Amino acid sequence: MVWGSRPLLRKYGNFIDDLRIYVKGGTGGMGYPRLGGEGGRGGDVWLVAKEKITLKRTKDRFPQKRFVAGAGANSSVPALKGEKGTDCEVDVPLGISVTSCDGKQIGELNKAGERILVARGGIGGCLVTNFLPLKGQIQTVHLDLKLIADVGLVGFPNAGKSSLLSKISLAKPQIADYPFTTLKPELGKIMYPDYKQVSVADLPGLIEGAHANKGMGHKFLKHVERTKQLLFVVDISGFRLSSKTRFRTAFETILLLTQELELYKEELWTKPALLAVNKMDLPNAQESLNELTKQLQNPQDSLHLVEKELIPQNIINFKDIIPVSAHTGEGIEELKTCIRQSLDEEAEKENEEYQKEKLRILQTSEV
Ligand SMILES: Nc1nc2c(ncn2[C@@H]2O[C@H](COP(=O)(O)OP(=O)(O)OP(=O)(O)O)[C@@H](O)[C@H]2O)c(=O)[nH]1
Ligand SMILES: [Mg+2]
């Protein structure tokens, strides 16, 4: 299908995944030279990770994006040691990495309750400062949100990523027959009968040249950096963005997706990956699937048939290939099972490695 008039000009949505804020530690309190009294220390500014918070909320509540901690109390006769200024706590969502304005990494906040000190308060006036207070630390910090999910959906626009998410989870993402329906990452949760929950991030579709900022997928690739696994979703009937672009087969879309991941960051394509081949209800889907399976099993036999520019440096070895139809429900249960199995297997592997490492440390410390 060719996509002529695309409502691409819709608003980008109200999702924010980065924010710059100004932080200032409180000034210290005045000392009391005559009595040797020390002023209180200025308050500190902390970033605190909280669940169910968005960067958008932080921005809306503090449009000035300035966070200043309280000043320390002056030393006085009734209180020679001045009290510390009040700390300022900035609530931020989980998955934030914090960098200074010159690009230095300050830290990461991935679990609820984790906190990072971003501006220390100045010390109060005392003997060494000649009883004069010091100013608090001032800086502009950059908050960069990367979603934390177990599985990240990767696919071309219109492959049916959102449709699949709505089938496997309780999420209700927007679904439509034009590309770039999904404009911002969305999280869904798959619930398993044993109450285990798996989070899945639905991302805007990638297109050829995404790494060079084509389309909007690239901006969102950072969100798959922290997912444990990838779920590629391809349309078995292939993809064509517009009458001006080439038609790509399902196999070609997989090559292109791999290439986009490689070009964005090497590590991305090495994540464990599953492949959901969607729209199996379409006519001739079975023949196309047979062909695709052959191509994926022996990619070297098929690569000479595709344009050179499409060939990635590495061919992803999918842990499972699951034919599905978000429309008829075919393969949906199997897909859920495969996602679960794959995550459990990787967790098991990690655990084994952790145990081995622990044993190794024990053995070397005994020597
Ligand atoms: N025939 C058929 N159509 C499907 C199937 N799954 C999704 N579609 C249709 O494909 C179109 C795109 O579906 P979406 O779920 O919005 O696709 P997406 O990958 O999220 O697209 P973007 O958000 O634009 O990247 C919609 O018209 C869906 O109804 C399927 O299994 N079979
Ligand atoms: Mg979508």
Q: Whose CA is closest to atom 32 on ligand 1?
A: 279
CA of 260 to the centre of ligand 2 (A): 18
Distance CA 97, CA 107 (A): 6
Is 202 a residue whose pLDDT tops 70? Answer: yes
Q: Which residues pair with 22 in a beta bridge?
A: 66, 140
Nearest Cα to Cα of residue 154 among 302, 17, 308, 265: 265
159 lines ligand 1 (CB under 6 A): yes
CB 98 within 8 A of CB 107: yes
Distance CA 283, CA 147 (A): 37
pLDDT in tens, 259-285: 888 888 878 888 999 999 999 999 999
Q: What is the largest CA-CA distance in the chain?
A: 92
CA of 200 to the centre of ligand 1 (A): 17
pTM of the model: 0.81
- Ligand nearest to C-alpha 236: 1
CA of 325 to the centre of ligand 1 (A): 10
281 lines ligand 1 (CB under 6 A): yes
In ligand 1, the atom with minimum distance to the C-alpha of 278 is: 31
Q: For 102-111, 155-164, 300-309, which range has the lowest pLDDT when averaged over its residues?
A: 300-309
In ligand 1, the atom with minimum distance to the C-alpha of 325 is: 31
In ligand 1, the atom with minimum distance to the C-alpha of 324 is: 31
Q: Which distant-in-sequence residues (6+ apart) come within 8 Å of 323 by Cβ?
A: 236, 277, 280, 285, 289, 330, 331
- Give the side-chain half-sphere CA count within 13 A for 234: 28
Is 10 a residue whose pLDDT tops 60? Answer: no
CA of 216 to the centre of ligand 2 (A): 12
Tokens of 335: 């897909």
pLDDT in tens, 73-82: 999 999 999 9
In ligand 1, the atom with minimum distance to the C-alpha of 156 is: 25
- Which ranges of the chain would DSSP assign to H, the alpha helix? 55-61, 161-168, 217-221, 250-264, 266-269, 285-297, 299-303, 332-366
279 lines ligand 1 (CB under 6 A): yes
CA of 164 to the centre of ligand 2 (A): 9
pLDDT in tens, 11-61: 335 678 889 999 999 999 999 999 999 999 999 999 999 998 889 888 899
331 lines ligand 1 (CB under 6 A): no
Q: Which distant-in-sequence residues (6+ apart) come within 8 Å of 116 by Cβ?
A: 46, 47, 98, 106, 107, 109
Nearest Cα to Cα of residue 238 among 321, 316, 160: 160
Q: Cα 358 to the chain's mean position, in Å? A: 30
pLDDT for the residue 62: 93
